Amino acid sequence: MTEFPKSPLMGQMMSQPLLISSIIKHADRYYGSNEIVSRRVEGDIHRYTYRDCHKRSRQMANALGGLGVKIGDRVATLAWNGYRHLELYYAISGSGAVMHTINPRLHPEQIAYIANHAEDMYLFFDMTFLPLVEAFAAHCKTVKGFIAMCDKDRMPAESKIPNLMCYEELLEKNSDQYEWPLFDENSASSLCYTSGTTGNPKGALYSHRSTVLHSYASAMPDALNVSARDSVLPVVPMFHVNAWGLPYSVPLTGAKLVFPGPALDGKSVYELFEQEKVTFSAGVPTVWLGLLTYVGQNNLKFSTFKRTVIGGSACPPAMMKTFRQQYGVEVVHAWGMTEMSPLGTAGTLQSHHMDLPEEKKQAILEKQGHAIYGVDMKIVGDDGKELPWDGKTYGNLLVKGPWIISSYFKNEAGDVLQDGWFPTGDVATIDADGYMQITDRSKDVIKSGGEWIGTIDLENIAMAHPAVQQAACIGVFHPKWDERPLLVVVKKPGAEVTKEELIKFYEGKIAKWWTPDDVTFVDALPIGATGKVLKNRIREQFKEYRLPTT
């Protein structure tokens, strides 16, 4: 960690470490009776308050101590968004151990790799994942015990999982008398692995300080804009970059928390939105497709839902328009990554934009947004030289800030910083007002005749066609141009469109040479563990594809 010089005159403010436990203490003391509602794995709805959550987190902290978990030890979870998972967020990190959320959508072998790499000491899991845990438990070298997150009567009669314990039983045996310990705010608090689309997953190890600062910044009005008057339903999973920090930023503001559990289909999410008067939500574009299809097919409206943050992959402008124009829901487009805790930018307007015509405002909102305070960014060419902020010149996007990694856990991949900046692997433009727009991930860019074609634009245009549900664009081999764009399309149920119609749809919307050479229709696109379209899988699938233009 970089040391900085000390001034001969230091400030005279209290020295109090920024610790995660302070968030749940605050939520209990000042918003104690505000609710946390969860749809459980069991199917029923569970409700309690921040006060109850704090009490049970303290009991769990005692339980962890009893199991021998010490400061710095890693404790893993494989769980949906729910109240027990939230208790663990506070019990594990609050007591000084490291909360390691594992993505249950990964392959069992990959999960075992991650648990071994992290040297997890215990692993908590929702009962949905019992068969999954049975599949990899024997391969975990450091895990001393597995804890099923359920009541005593739900425990399996027999299981081959070694040292299997019951969450509620463990809690019951422990007192709620517990003082959250004080320690250095730079201590590790939680660990998330990147999805590892290329190579093995790598861990981003957050600190208490980085997490608390990220929570403050992300709750601000031009970011997630969460307040004590909101009812917040994080659709983004708690195993995907800590649900974008919502398990911290929501209790910090005192808003009501609503957890969807495993039921992420359009109908279940919609019902919970209405029943719990949800005002704000967050998730990747693919999950909103399900909700919008359900709401559209059943001619429904949202009574309280006002705002959603969409990120993780580019939010198609067509989705933004549907939310705003048909349902009166404001969409904030956000960008970030696991390595950034994750929030980097959010797209909202400023006062000098207010008189602009609607299409101009919309064009600004479609970008990934401006940096939130705490994050700095720049774009550079391959020579590392900074490029201008003109909204046109694109380059490699670099970031820095107190909640951005300086290296991966156990120094995997070695020195990753370039002159103190983290290279995101994204290609972007930044305009004169500081709004950043992602052109593509550098590995997805299509290289055609020595020039670059960004696939996000091509996909967004296709998804604005009324017959298109989802689209992905990839570069395929071309003898003259190296690569040319192939558009892979999933049609909306019952809708029809031809390849020629789609190619014509691009006319006047982009430079002619960007137009896809061909269109192919598929039933579904491959979706990865974090709900994103797997471009590498599509590239693999169409490796031998011969374009009609070759």
Distance CA(361)–CA(518), nearest Å, equals: 32
Position 335 contacts ligand ADP (CB under 6 A):
yes
Q: Counting contacts by CB under 6 A, is residue 530 touching ligand ADP?
A: yes
- H or E stretch at 518: strand 518-521
Asked whether position 368 contacts ligand ADP by CB under 6 A, the answer is yes
> Minimum CB separation from ligand ADP for residue 538, in Å?
15
> Interface residues for ligand ADP in 292-311 (CB under 6 A)?
311
Tell whether residue 101 is a contact of ligand ADP (CB under 6 A).
Answer: no
Whole-number minimum distance, CB 2 to ligand ADP, in Å?
24
**Residue in the shown chain whose Cβ atom is closest to ligand ADP:** 195
424 binds ligand ADP (CB under 6 A): yes
Of positions 309, 314, 371, 489, contacts ligand ADP by CB under 6 A: 314
Interacting residues with ligand ADP between 230 and 269 (CB under 6 A): 241
Cα 414 from chain centre: 25
Q: Is-catalytic flag, 447?
A: yes
Distance CA(104)–CA(234), nearest Å, equals 17
Nearest distance, CB of residue 107 and ligand ADP, angstroms:
15
Q: How far is the CB of 460 from ligand ADP (least distance, A)?
A: 10
Q: Considering Cα of 195, then 198, then 201, then 205, what sign does the dihedral take?
A: negative
Is 549 an active-site residue?
no
- Of 350, 338, 387, 408, whose CA–CA distance to 194 is shortest? 338
How near is the Cβ of 441 to ligand ADP at its closest, in Å? Answer: 4
Q: Decide if residue 110 touches ligand ADP (CB under 6 A).
A: no
Site string for ligand ADP, 434-463 (x = CB under 6 A): ----x--x----------------------
194 is catalytic: yes
**What residues contact 29, with CB distance under 8 A and at least 6 apart?**
none
Distance CA 196, CA 190 (A): 18
Task: Write the DSSP assignment of 8-35 as a string of letters.
Answer: SS----------THHHHHHHHHHHTT-E
Q: Closer to ligand ADP by CB, 22 or 242: give it.
A: 242
Q: How many residues form the binding site for ligand ADP (CB under 6 A)?
A: 21
The one catalytic residue among 194, 424, 429, 530: 194
Decide: helix, strand or coil at residue 158: coil
List the catalytic residue out of 447, 504, 509, 543: 447
Distance of CA 378 to the CA centre of its chain: 22
Task: Compute the distance between CA of residue 245 and CA of residue 130 in angstroms, rounded to an integer.
Answer: 27
Report CA Rg, the chain: 24
Residue 286: CB minimum distance to ligand ADP, A = 12
Q: Dig out the tokens for 486 from the structure.
A: 């192939």
| Crossing angle between the packed helical segments 285-297 and 266-275, to the nearest 10 degrees | 80
Q: Which is nearer to ligand ADP, 81 or 195 (CB)?
A: 195
The residues annotated as belonging to the active site are 194, 339, 447, 452
Q: Interface with ligand ADP by CB under 6 A: which residues?
A: 194-195, 241, 311-314, 333-335, 337-338, 342, 368, 424-426, 438, 441, 530, 532
